[in-house]
Amino acid sequence: MSKPFDTDVAIIGYGPSGVSAALCLGQYGVNAVAFERDSAIYPRARAVTVNDWTMRCFQSVGLDQALARDMDATAALRWITYEGHELMRMDFPPSHLGLHPQSYSIYQPVMEETMRQGALRHADRVDVRYGVEVTGVEQDADGVTITSRNLASGSISTTRARYALACDGGSSTTRERLGVKLLGETVDTRWLVIDAHVKRWWPDRHILTFWSDKKRPVVDIALALGNHRWEIPMEPHETEADFATHDQLWPLLNSLGVTKDDVDIHQHAFYKHHVRTAERWRVGRVFLLGDAGHLMPPWAGSGMQSGVRDAFNISWKLREVLAGRLPDSLLDSYEAERAPNVAFYTGVAVQLGRIIKQQLSEEEMAAMVPPPDQPPSLPPLFWAPTLVAGWMQGTLRDGCAVGRMVPQPRVANAQGKRCLLDELLGDGFTLLGDGVDPASLLSPQEKAGWDGLGARYATVLPANAPGSSPNDIIDLSGTLLDWLRAHHTRVVALRPDRFVAAAEGAGLGLPG
């Protein structure tokens, strides 16, 4: 006989990945218990940026606007030498994913506080237990039993959940208890991170700058809320004792043209870069999220963001499985979808790191930047989100909509309300038809499958067409219709995360 459950999902760790899971599960009406050793948010700003995909995730839980108030849009990236020669520059193109720009600079402690405050809206669903250390994770065929210790009282308790999410960071004890190896390498070079408060503006401070040098490359980045950061590699002969005080840091900043008139240093730290991933992300009913499952260098600004996206990916799938609408095997698609994406951004980060360290040849540099007389190509850092495998009909291929994220233009409904697309889509499944009721192109079996998931059927119309049905979506700019036609399909089936699961031509039935 199955033991009774205390909750649906246990969240081990309440950093960015854990809070993101709490936001999603609470939004979906799924009960969860979160365990976190530390009551206070980690004071250092480790992550420095979020992009439009991540903000679209937060939009789905109604938190994007509150977060954006404490962020600054990123203007551009540049790679320059100490002599002032600009090696490469990337200006950010407009986003097609919604209201927000391609990239924001953030101040992570403030961002996390806003996330935690947002999760309080779901306090009736999500029980967050601070000052509690998880000391055991045991599984059986039906669920997971979490043993925890209250650090103040020393009392021991157990919590039984149907599934568990390990969000407990790069040194995850959950991963160790599961016997999962972390594959890859840690780079020997130790980096010095200097955080400062800005006192006055200096030229081009808002441009994220990589000082490219074989000996002393530097990341120079404006954080939000008047903060600034430098990340500087230490030379082999240098130790942490050489930079123990703020006075010992100033020669490094002075070499970049920054003085005590410009900033006040308020903290510094040391760390190493990791290129590691867990050998598997699911063990029975436990899933590894964020740094517990993967670690990457900081150059692509995607470490924390990948953990946030992990949480949004697994959460909607847990909702469907817990509701009995889709089988437990759906959860296997978590790693199938997220691991290639994490590997992609890790590769981008490694390549960007080679630029800053001047490890690319002139030929490799030239290949990354198109000549002036050629149309500009979009750098990989700005490529649209895609899935190469997972819960979808077929695989990603040129010209097909399956596996791609649908754009999010401003639209209207038949009653004249104007808003962003996702507001009309809701948080479930939706089939969109180009001027046609998508249900009319489904076989009875296909329609029964989507009906079983509570899918909506919406007809997309141009702005000069009359809209009368509650299921009509008026595409004010034509962006959505152009996207459907560019991908040669009249109908797409969207998942809750806005990726296309099925499309006319590739098969409109539920993915297997």
Q: Name the CA dihedral angle for 450, 456, 461, 467, rounded to a multiple of 10 degrees.
A: 140
Q: Count CB neighbours of 137 within 10 A.
A: 21
pLDDT, residue 9, reads 98
pLDDT, residue 375, reads 43
| In this structure, CATH architecture of domain 185-274 | 2-Layer Sandwich (3.30)
Q: What pTM did the predictor assign?
A: 0.93
Give 59-113 as a 3 state SS string: HCCCCHHHHHCCCEECCEEEEECCCCCEEEEEECCCCCCCCCCCEEECCHHHHHH
- Residues in the chain predicted with pLDDT less than 50, given as ranges, are 1, 369-375
Domain boundaries, the chain: 7-71+104-182+276-354, 185-274, 386-503
**Cα–Cα distance between 47 and 103 in angstroms, integer?**
13
Overall CATH class of domain 386-503 = alpha beta
Comparing C-alpha atoms, which of 349, 310, 402 is closest to residue 53? 310
pLDDT, residue 3, reads 78
As given in the structure block, the two tokens for residue 7 are 């909750």
User: For 251-279, what is each residue's pLDDT tens digit?
Assistant: 999 999 999 999 999 999 998 888 899 99
Query: 7-71+104-182+276-354 maps to which CATH number?
Result: 3.50.50.60
